[in-house]
Structure 1
Amino acid sequence: MPGIYRLKGTVKHYDWGGTSFIPSLLQTGNDDRLPFAEYWMGVHAQDNCTIELPDHRRVLLKEFLKEHPGFLGNDVQQRFGHLPYLFKVLDVHKMLSIQVHPTKAAAEKEFARENTEGIAVDSPRRNYKDDNHKPELMVALSDFWLLHGFKPPEELVYTLLNVAELRELLGIFNQSGYEGLYKHVMEMPQDDVNRILQPLIDNLATIYRDKDPDKYDEDYWVAKAAYSFPHNGKIDRGIFSIYLFNLVHLKKGEGIFQDAGVPHAYLEGQNVEIMASSDNVLRGGLTNKHIDVKELLKHVKCEPTHVRIIPGEQISNAEKVYTTTAPDFQLSVFDLKKGESISFSPATAEILLLTEGNAELDNGSVKLKLQPGNPSAIVFSGKEIKLSCAQGTTVFRASVPR
């Protein structure tokens, strides 16, 4: 029956993850100091998210929704045919790769092409894992640092003038613009990458070890990248992007949207992230994973990006929504003070995630507690749900725009 179900997501132990934030959220031990990078909630092919049935059996959410497609609601079932979003928690300790995501039309075309070429979906040479786009919205759970799109022209010119090792790139930008500059650094022979970046890295060697670094300064992130990705004679050309892209600092509760074509990289901090359910990532550096420059350049929007931080729009006393243009998902957050409660009616299969405090969900026939160790649940349309708390509480709500 539609109602409230406890949900258990999937932990991803990518090497860039932190060791304490997600274990604390899940109240699980980590004596071996493994990286807990992401906590996935949804129906992605690489996600084994489960729900607990009334008889306490656990079943895969993807299988449950296949058996009960009506639980998605008529609108979502007709528009998508499946749960269209993937909801995550990220703990970024080391930098993530420079990356960009394709449009829906491009993903369909390129996925079909790689299938025709016989490239296995799990091949390291594979660029397109599915036929979907991957717009992303993240909301910071702490101070969060990222790269997001190309700097406006005046800022980029200032950078190229004031970083002595990069001055030779200014003429290329003046003559060929963003596309010419980015193509130049991404296709540059490795010897030239080393020639430009090695003196720069040498000059910044002590910055990363500074006990009180200036994280608003790109030099700090360049030094961290050089330390994090030993080059063995091949310096990672993704370091150029740290100077070419906007360096963004988000405070707790602030969000940012990454649409198709916007190059970006997460640098440090914790967040919640919601996206269209896809794994299509074209990488441009700061990674040991597969990089295909030709494919990357097909999709990057080589244009200035004027950063738009999303503070969230208050839609009730206790709920604010982070609005984007993505049709696949919507993210809002409940901030409740001690003793407060709020009622809401799910529009489809909605995932709830508690990040602070303790809460109780009640639809009149089922009650379920959200707390550290059991922070997530899924709710379905059909009954109004009351969310209440006995202390200050934050609960994120993943849904689909109506």
Structure 2
Amino acid sequence: MKEIKLFKMKNVIQEYAWGSPDAIPGLLGIDNPEKKPKAELWMGAHGKAPSRIEQGNKEIPLDQYIRENKVAVLGGKLAEKYGNLPFLFKVLAAGSPLSIQVHPNKKQAEKGFARENSLGIAIDAFNRNYKDDNHKPEIICALTEFWAMRGFRPFQDIADRFEALDIPSFRRETAAFRSNLTSEGLETFFNALMSLEGEKKDRFIRELTGAAAGIQGDEYQWVLRLYEKYSDDAAIAAPLYLNLLKLEPGQALYLSAGELHAYLDGLGMELMASSDNVLRGGLTPKYIDREELGNIVNFNGSEPEILQARATDPLTEIYRTPSKEFELARLSLRRGGASYDTASIGSVQILFLTEGSADFTSADGEILHAEKGESLFIPAGAPSWMVEGDALIFRASVPEDGAL
């Protein structure tokens, strides 16, 4: 067995077209002279891009380290239930809007993964929906002002906005929805919009953008901003049928299975179950499976809850969600104040410093210094390290009932 201690992590930065060239480099204190779109910093053991840790005189992938030390790293119950780190921790930097998307629940993922395997669809195929058999609940916590869309607006709200725009080519569909303000009515309305093609789609977009330009309101301005990037996609109307939200730093959103959503702009901490299952519903050149999308999406209209962290002690604030795989917390350290004991929660954890610096001191006096932008991996079986400093730290861990 390898030594069980805490480790500084070396993480992969994913470069996707929607990423910001400045946000993640600024947070990490690194240069990006070519101004590449740095979209996500991945912290975890996902096989697609595992973090690396130093073991002895060499670096090893975190997923390998966990495989070789499952019980010591995860704890006995988590090792038995999951066999690997059950969450993936990210810094997400949206320089432009991400695709509208939805994630399946566990049963849907298992069924869809098995079906596509039986059909012989390659994992990396353009038309592959299910990359694994897991669900993907997630939470996003804003580090800066953060714009997002999440879940359908209340039915009345959607009908009011489309009637205010009075789009001639979509009047019949709008009137039909007005006469049936139900989940079934919304599904019919949404499918009509998703099915627009050719001249009818072009006319809808012209009429939509022309009308939106004459109305005040964030949702109408976002229609126009989306048009600048996706001028031939009817899903630029999404801010009118999805809840448009502006999160302030420290506010968070939880996304469960079936909730249509898109991140639009800003920097945030994202924590999710370790899965890569995504079905897309617009604002993307990638594959859109309309039939399967309709099977997964929740067509209930409601106003979403914005999460605030709840204090559990002078240092710690937790974002409560129903997830069994992960729990996001925020630790506020002040010089001369209380210390954080890494062994206090009994869970495998990843810590990421978004502000300041901190010293990690072991029982035998070893000191590990960490600065803003650095992350640390702490196995469940690691001995206690006391953390002091002046820092804001986000913690990813597994909740107490996660192994049940």
- TM-score with structure 1 length normalisation? 0.92
For residue 198 of structure 1, the aligned residue among 203, 206, 214 is 206
Structure 2 Cα separation of the partners of residues 336 and 66 of structure 1: 33
For 1:200-219, what aligned pairs fall within 5 Å after superposition? Answer: 200-202=208-210, 217-219=218-220
- Aligned-residue RMSD, C-alpha: 1.8
**Counterpart contact for 2:165–2:212, Cα < 8 Å:** no
Structure 1 Cα separation of the partners of residues 223 and 380 of structure 2: 48
**Counterpart contact for 1:182–1:302, Cα < 8 Å:** no
- Is 1:150 the counterpart of 2:152? The answer is yes
**Counterpart contact for 1:24–1:372, Cα < 8 Å:** no
Residue by residue over 1:117-159, the C-alpha shift from the partner in whole angstroms, topping out at 9 and shown as x without a partner, is 1110011111111110000111100111100100012322221
**Counterpart contact for 2:319–2:328, Cα < 8 Å:** yes
Structure 2 Cα separation of the partners of residues 98 and 194 of structure 1: 20
Residue by residue over 1:29-56, the C-alpha shift from the partner in whole angstroms, topping out at 9 and shown as x without a partner, is 1111111110001111211310122x34
Count of residue correspondences: 387
Aligned position for 1:177? 185
Structure 2 Cα separation of the partners of residues 109 and 81 of structure 1: 21
Aligned position for 1:211? none
For residue 139 of structure 1, the aligned residue among 131, 141, 144 is 141
Q: Which runs of 5+ in 1 are unaligned?
A: 208-213
Structure 2 Cα separation of the partners of residues 172 and 43 of structure 1: 48
For residue 255 of structure 1, the aligned residue among 252, 268, 271 is 252
> How far has the Cα of 1:104 moved from its partner?
0.5
Aligned position for 1:337? 334
The one-letter code sitting in structure 2 at the alignment partner of 1:272 is: M
> How far has the Cα of 1:288 moved from its partner?
1.5
Structure 2 Cα separation of the partners of residues 144 and 181 of structure 1: 28
> How far has the Cα of 1:204 moved from its partner?
5.2
> How far has the Cα of 1:170 moved from its partner?
2.3
For 1:2-401, what aligned pairs fall within 5 Å after superposition? Answer: 2-53=4-55, 55-70=56-71, 71-165=73-167, 167-173=171-177, 174-175=179-180, 176-202=184-210, 217-229=218-230, 231=231, 235-340=232-337, 341-345=339-343, 346-365=345-364, 366-372=366-372, 375-382=374-381, 383-389=383-389, 391=390, 393-401=391-399
Structure 2 Cα separation of the partners of residues 337 and 161 of structure 1: 53
Q: Which runs of 5+ in 2 are unaligned?
A: none
**Counterpart contact for 2:213–2:221, Cα < 8 Å:** no
- TM-score with structure 2 length normalisation? 0.91
Residue by residue over 1:60-101, the C-alpha shift from the partner in whole angstroms, topping out at 9 and shown as x without a partner, is 000111111111101211221111000000110100000000
> How far has the Cα of 1:225 moved from its partner?
1.0
**Counterpart contact for 2:213–2:220, Cα < 8 Å:** no
The one-letter code sitting in structure 2 at the alignment partner of 1:172 is: A
Structure 2 Cα separation of the partners of residues 352 and 301 of structure 1: 33
Structure 1 Cα separation of the partners of residues 368 and 200 of structure 2: 59
